[in-house]
Amino acid sequence: MPLVHRSHASHASSAVPKAVPQAGRRRTRLRWTAVAAALTVLALPAVAVPAAATSDRSEPAGPSSTAAASPNRSSSASDVPDVPDVPVVPNQAVPLDDFYTPPTPLPDGANGEVVRWREEPRQLSARNYLVMYHSTNATGQDIPVTGRVLVPTTPWRGEGPRPIVSVASGTRGVGDTCAPSRWLDYERPFIEPMLLAGWAVVVTDYEGLGTPGGHTYVVGQSEGRTVIDIVRAATNLPATGLQAGGRVAFSGYSQGGGGAMWAGELQPEYAPELDLVGVAAGGVPADLSEVAEGLDGQVGFGFLLFAAYGLDAAYPELDLGSYLNERGRETYEREKVACVEATIAHAFQNIGMFTSTNPLQSPQWRARLDENRLGDNPPDVPIRLFHGTLDEIVAPGQARALRDEYCAAGAEVQWEWHLGEHVSTMVTGAPGVIAFLDRRFEDRPFLAHC
């Protein structure tokens, strides 16, 4: 298990060696920061309250953007605008509003170009921006996607521009009210330590969450691009003070683990200008066919329903409705706007209860599932993968197979099993993610297992 040191040519001349005691203190501080933030935010989930003003690309950006228009503007604590903190409101989503309805027709724009944005009240330790941006879906179409950009008040004291972590969210559901930008709930404890380390965090809503159309749940060819393009959007928006050219990492768990890994696989061809330095992904649904087999008839069957909706939304020719029986059609109409809690009611159900013919056995469905199987294009950056040994939602075997496939291809993978099921592994895996990202942004050695 060698220690691997990844040096990027663009940073080699400016790298400053860190003394071991200082690095040890940094790691200890990050661990305690993660614990403190988790306890604080679990007690008081952060919810943003929408601001009144919205800036479209076609209109003047307004005073909030002109103050940060210079690309050389520092993102230090003293630069934070006078935006008051807002009360934290548990268990309440941000209401629907017109921001999520894109202009018709959608104006032309490159991937990551901002369609509209607005600054919202500060979320704990960060300035907070809601953004709509251009991305590309699984069939190559230009789509509007929404998401959130969080710029910490903590200054970045490392080399180069402030780094950006694109956090791919875990399952929120398939309805518009479930969009991550409406309520950063259960994952906020894992985001807060990133902000306190001085890293900017961007969180995409993915395709069809918040914006019109169905959510393409677990369709990696769509999710990966939206995870990448919100990084571009964050640096394309002068108000954030974020600069292009800084170090970037992708991170996520469960659905988000798949989104992060797909972003890593797609990035070399789709966004070669990004200085990607690492990908951290846990509970990864790498092989959707194997994950589906593990969910059918089991406690997590509701996630399989969401996946069927997601594939059908991404690839209309799959025509999910033609496979459904009467109960299936009724369930589809009822649950197509559902959030994650709806999966509980479908525990231990099976495909045969809702279909006249199993779509997973059709050549068309299997071909699309194969298109969204990870492993063919291992990222050329360090990867951290972790999984629960008792994961009852995302089959552990297919995650181990992804690790083996990456290793055989020469990728540098840090692998960790956790003794736990799906949810507990998200919690126990979080400190390792922060430590991994800290090493990647400081260009320090990490432990590789292959």
DSSP for 132-192 reads EEEEE-TTS-EEEEEEEEEEESSPP-SSSSPPEEEEE----BSSGGG-TTT---TTHHHHH
Kindly state whether residues 134 and 175 are assigned to the same domain.
yes
The predicted structure's pLDDT at residue 11? 37
List the CATH number of the domain containing 251: 3.40.50.1820
Query: Is 67 a member of any domain?
Result: no
Mean pLDDT of 100-106: 95
In a domain, 66, yes or no: no
| Short-list 338, 36, 309, CA closest to 196 | 36
Whole-model pTM: value is 0.81
Higher pLDDT, 57 or 45: 57
- Domain stops at, among 353, 370, 387: 370
pLDDT of residue 60 exceeding 60, the answer is no
Task: Look at residue 65 and tell me whether its pLDDT is greater than 60.
Answer: no
Q: Which pair of tokens denotes residue 360?
A: 């997973």
Q: Is residue 69 part of a domain?
A: no
Query: 420 and 362: one domain?
Result: no
CA distance 114 to 286: 30
Question: Residue 147 and residue 131: Cα distance in Å, rounded?
Answer: 6
H-type alpha helices, 336-421: 363-371, 396-408
Distance CA 211, CA 177 (A): 10
Residues 336 and 268 in one domain: no
| 324 and 410 fall within a common domain | no
Residue 2 placed within a domain: no
Show which of 370, 400, 420 is a domain's final residue. 370
Which domain covers residue 301, as residue numbers?
288-370
Is the pLDDT assigned to residue 30 strictly greater than 70?
Answer: no
Claim to verify: residue 175 and residue 307 sit in the same structural domain? no
What's the structural domain count of the chain? Answer: 2
Please check the confidence at residue 157 and state whether its pLDDT lies above 80.
yes
Q: Does any domain span residue 120?
A: yes
CATH, residue 317: 1.10.260.130
Give the Cα separation of 218 and 258 in Å (integer): 7
pLDDT tens digits, one per residue of 392-427: 999 999 999 999 999 999 999 999 999 999 999 999
Distance in angstroms (rounded) separating the CA atoms of residues 409 and 279? 16
Give yes or no: residues 248 and 122 share one domain: yes
Sorting pLDDT into bands at 50, 70 and 90, what band is 85? Answer: very low
In a domain, 11, yes or no: no
**Domain check: are 293 and 279 in the same one?**
no
Residue 215 predicted with pLDDT over 80: yes
